[in-house]
């Protein structure tokens, strides 16, 4: 597996060592450990994480080659959603992030219907006529179409065709309605759990204990394999 050339290098063979930091090397290893400890065979990822999954496979193969049956760790496969990357509503050339300073840049699961409508209506688009999907030329418009397609489960081309003769306001209003209906059951469940913190704590505790048992079992297998037990 070969990780992509980092931003502190001009080529695969040329690296500015003065700009190297621990995270560049440790983070991919930690991601791999999270996957291998639980022997996951499928992992939901975005396009920018494909290289980390390839590293995980390489590490799994290396460990498997030390065993007789080569089956200690499954080789995980990536699960890609239709729209694995959603852009910022205020700056569609950036990814949507919950840590962004502007509350209008993102949709939160806790947003009420009025808030979702305001955020979608204020989303940056452009002054061109018509509704078309063009990520490079019309990033804002393309982002709204991608969100609609991701929520509805339709192909972007079908969503684009549906709104071809409609206005941008039509698209924004229908997208807001779609988001409100999509998140309604999640919000209902969230509000229920928020008023039962003891149950939430119990679920967290049980989950942590179950995960620890699985992780310790995998770790002990690796220690035994390497003669470290």
Over the stretch 152-191, which tens digit does the pLDDT of each residue have? 999 999 999 999 999 999 999 999 999 999 999 999 999 9
Structure tokens belonging to residue 31: 């991601």
Q: Which two tokens stand for residue 11?
A: 């080529």
Provide the token pair at 54: 């390839």
Domains of the chain from N-terminus onward: 1-82 (3.40.50.620), 113-195 (1.10.240.10)
User: Is pLDDT above 90 for 12?
Assistant: no
Q: What pLDDT sits at residue 69?
A: 77
Specify the higher pLDDT residue, 45 or 11. Answer: 45
pLDDT in tens, 76-133: 999 987 776 899 999 999 999 999 999 999 999 999 999 999 999 999 999 999 999 9
Cβ atoms 58, 2 nearer than 8 A: no
pTM of the model: 0.78
Rounded to whole angstroms, how far apart are CA atoms 176 and 162? 16
- pLDDT class for 1, splitting at 50, 70, 90? very low
């Amino acid at each position: 597996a070969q990780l992509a050339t980092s931003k502190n290098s001009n080529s695969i063979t040329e690296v500015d060592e003065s700009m190297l930091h621990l995270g560049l090397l440790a983070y991919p290893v930690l991601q791999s450990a999270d996957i291998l400890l639980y022997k996951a065979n499928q992992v939901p990822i975005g396009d920018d994480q494909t290289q980390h999954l390839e590293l995980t496979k390489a590490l799994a193969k290396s460990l498997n080659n030390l065993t007789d049956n080569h089956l200690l760790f499954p080789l995980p496969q990536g699960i890609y959603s239709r729209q694995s990357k959603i852009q910022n509503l205020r700056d569609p050339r950036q990814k949507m992030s919950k840590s962004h300073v502007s509350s209008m840049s993102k949709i939160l699961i806790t947003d009420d219907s009025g808030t979702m409508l305001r955020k979608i209506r204020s989303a940056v688009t452009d002054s061109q006529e018509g509704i078309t999907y063009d990520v490079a030329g019309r990033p804002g418009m393309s982002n709204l179409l991608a969100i609609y397609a991701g929520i509805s489960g339709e192909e972007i081309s079908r969503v684009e065709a549906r709104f071809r003769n409609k206005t941008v306001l039509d698209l924004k209003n229908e997208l807001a309605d779609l988001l409100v209906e999509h998140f309604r059951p999640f919000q209902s469940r969230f509000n229920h759990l928020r008023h039962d913190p003891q149950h939430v704590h119990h679920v967290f505790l049980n989950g942590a204990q179950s995960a620890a048992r699985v992780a310790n079992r995998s770790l002990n297998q690796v220690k035994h394999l390497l003669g470290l037990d």
